[in-house]
């Protein structure tokens, strides 16, 4: 369906650590990633503002807005909330249409999603245990005094993988520190940590009937060490989208477009939130 020239759809993905906004028209119009901070409400506005600025749009130009992610309920200007499972599937499918299984590795949770013909047919989540999420890597990076960005590259350089048995973050941290003190090479330890996270993610995803192609998205997909560790466990290569942080917001924007245009075609009009972005005017 062709997008009307003046129809713009926005997706707002409020993750536990990062907020992402994507605005689409025919194609991608703007995308912004910002920190979520402790108050979702406040910073969602800010990130949206930034996105609108990049898109050279005013808030009122937006036709329909969908919020997704952990904090989706705290976006008063969103017209609808849809879970990140549905949105990641939608977004990833538009970027990598051959993917049948999606693994989303976030800062505080991870998910496995099976899609068929672009629709979610099964999913599984881990949002309880840090061991299969970015949080685990963050804590270890801290303990090892290695910047999080460098952690993945370091693990890939390792000659061997030191197995880490503990999945409890606190204990694993202790285990790593004590191994380091015993002379275990730093690279091997980081490889072990990445494998431990990969193991937990695989244990979760294996609950689905995995079908290739398998794609990885979310913050974890930017960590080359984690992707490699996952590929090793699966035994085949994984697809990674160009901008893994944006698939949720992209999916939300595409859902907004789809829902709105479907309703339009039936002659229906979708209910809007009626909330503005801010009291003050956006443009000077």
What is the spatial distance between Cα 91 and Cα 253, in angstroms, rounded to a whole number? 8
Residue 239 is given by DSSP the state B
- Contact status: 179 vs other proteins (CB under 8 A): yes
Query: Based on CB atoms, which residue is closest to other proteins, 49 or 184?
Result: 184
SS3 45: helix
Helix ranges, the chain (H)? 40-55, 84-95, 134-144, 148-156, 169-181, 186-205, 224-234, 247-265
**Residue from 13, 79, 84, 243 binding other proteins (CB under 8 A):** 84
Q: Tell me if 121 contacts other proteins by CB under 8 A.
A: yes
Separate counts of helices (H) and strands (E) for the chain: 8, 9
Residues in the interface with other proteins (CB under 8 A) total 32
State the residue for tokens 């294996």. Answer: 206
Task: Select the residue interacting with other proteins from 4, 39, 118, 174 (CB under 8 A).
Answer: 174
Vertex 170 angle, CA 167 and 172, to 5°: 45
- Binding status of residue 262 toward other proteins by CB under 8 A: no
* Beta-bridge mates of residue 115: 120
Is residue 211 within the footprint of other proteins (CB under 8 A)?
no
**Contact flag: residue 58 with other proteins (CB under 8 A):** no
Reduced DSSP (H G I as helix, E B as strand, rest coil) percent helix, strand, coil of the chain, to 5: 45, 20, 35
Residue length, the chain? 284
- Residue 14, interface with other proteins (CB under 8 A)? no
| Residue nearer to other proteins on the CB measure, 58 or 170 | 170
Binding mask 15-54 for other proteins (x = CB under 8 A): ----------------------------------------
Q: Dig out the tokens for 237 from the structure.
A: 């290569």
Contact status: 199 vs other proteins (CB under 8 A): yes
* CB nearer to other proteins: pick between 31 and 126: 126
Pick the closer one to other proteins by CB: 83 or 273: 83
Interface residues with other proteins (CB under 8 A) are: 81-86, 119-123, 125, 127-128, 162-163, 165-168, 171, 174-175, 178-179, 182, 184, 199, 202-203, 206-207
């Amino acid at each position: 369906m062709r997008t009307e020239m003046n129809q713009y759809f926005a997706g707002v993905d409020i993750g536990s650590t990062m907020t992402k906004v994507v605005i689409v028209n025919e194609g991608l119009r703007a995308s912004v990633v910002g920190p979520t901070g402790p108050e979702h409400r406040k910073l969602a506005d800010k990130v949206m503002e930034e996105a609108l600025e990049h898109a050279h749009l005013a808030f009122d130009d937006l036709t329909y807005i969908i919020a997704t992610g952990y904090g989706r309920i705290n976006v008063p200007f969103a017209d609808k909330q849809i879970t990140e499972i549905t949105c990641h599937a939608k977004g990833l499918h538009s970027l990598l249409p051959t993917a049948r299984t999606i693994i989303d590795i976030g800062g505080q949770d991870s998910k496995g999603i099976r899609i068929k013909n672009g629709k979610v047919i099964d999913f599984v989540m881990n949002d309880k245990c840090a061991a299969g999420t970015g949080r685990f890597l963050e804590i270890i990076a801290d303990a090892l005094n290695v910047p999080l960005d460098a952690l993945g590259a370091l693990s890939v350089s390792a000659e061997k993988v030191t197995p880490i048995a503990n999945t409890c973050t606190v204990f694993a941290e202790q285990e790593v520190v004590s191994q380091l003190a015993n002379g275990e090479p730093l690279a091997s330890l980081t490889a072990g940590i990445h494998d431990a996270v990969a193991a937990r993610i695989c244990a979760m995803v294996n609950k689905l009937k995995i079908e290739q192609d398998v794609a990885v998205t979310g913050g974890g997909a930017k960590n080359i060490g984690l992707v490699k560790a996952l590929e090793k466990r699966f035994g085949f290569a994984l697809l990674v989208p160009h901008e893994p942080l944006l698939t949720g917001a992209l999916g939300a924007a595409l859902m907004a477009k789809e829902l709105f245009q479907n309703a339009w075609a039936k002659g229906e009009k979708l209910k809007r939130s009626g909330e503005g972005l801010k009291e003050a005017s956006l443009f000077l």
